[in-house]
Amino acid sequence: MQSDGEHLAQSEQVKRVSVPWSTRDVWLGMIAAALIVAAGWAIAYSLSALSLRPDLDLWVALFPTLVELLFLVVVWWFSVRKYHASPKTLGFANFKFSVLAVGLGLLLAFYFFNGFYAYLLQALGLRVQPDLTPVLRQVSSPWPLFVAVVLVAPVAEETFFRGFVFGGLRSRYDWRWAAAMSAALFAAAHMQITFFIPAFILGCLFAYLYQRSNSIWPGIIIHVLVNAFALAVVYVQI
């Protein structure tokens, strides 16, 4: 007779998707991604320091999109180019709608927590995330930012942090530790101290959905909803 723990362990093992890249590839990919993010912020800081004012509409459309797409370049380099990994290996697979329903329920719980967290920060004179209202007031159209934040970012970040990082880490570590590590890296990549805890929780949620479904699509869909809601809240305040 198998114990419940053994049965659960075997069930989790079945749900794992074997990936060809190693944890070493994951950490090298993370270093490459960190350099990309650092380079992006360095360029933005340099333009500000030199008092250069690029066209805001062009900057809002291209800069975040380019940074996000470079995450996909890292994934391609360490998985597709090196090991000929397929899209399915990276998590682009079919999933059961029940997993998405679970994700939506957990997302609702997250918003309850985030509301309380935002209230505590407000009492300290802080915000969860920077105010984008001034940017949206200056751009001629919000759609380029919408495309970058709501469409490009979820696909690129879920492919990188869940399909590549979490998928690689759980091949060596228990999936819970892999989820926590990938979520911490995901949160750190946003480079916003006050947003670290909410981003970490979301990263764990996305990893959990991947673990349950062997697909990054539920995480992408939930990620799209989160970003769309956040941007909509800012937009209605204009």
Global pTM value: 0.88
| Predicted pLDDT of residue 13 | 42
Other beta carbons less than 10 A from residue 75's beta carbon: 23
| Predicted pLDDT of residue 9 | 45
Q: Are 120 and 197 in contact, with CB atoms under 8 Å apart?
A: no
CA separation, residue 111 to residues 42, 105, 115, 229 (Å): 33, 10, 6, 11
- Cα separation, 191 vs 223, in Å, equals 18
- Cα separation, 219 vs 207, in Å, equals 8
Q: Considering only the C-alpha atoms of the chain, give the largest distance between any 2 of them, rounded to a whole number of Å.
A: 71
| Predicted pLDDT of residue 74 | 95
3 state DSSP class of 86 = coil
| Predicted pLDDT of residue 17 | 65
Nearest C-alpha neighbor of 170 from the set 154, 182, 187, 158: 182
The domain locations on the chain are 21-236
Q: Block means of pLDDT (10 residues each) for the chain, length 238 residues?
A: 46 62 95 85 71 65 83 95 95 95 97 95 88 76 86 96 96 94 94 94 98 96 95 82
3 state DSSP class of 130 = coil
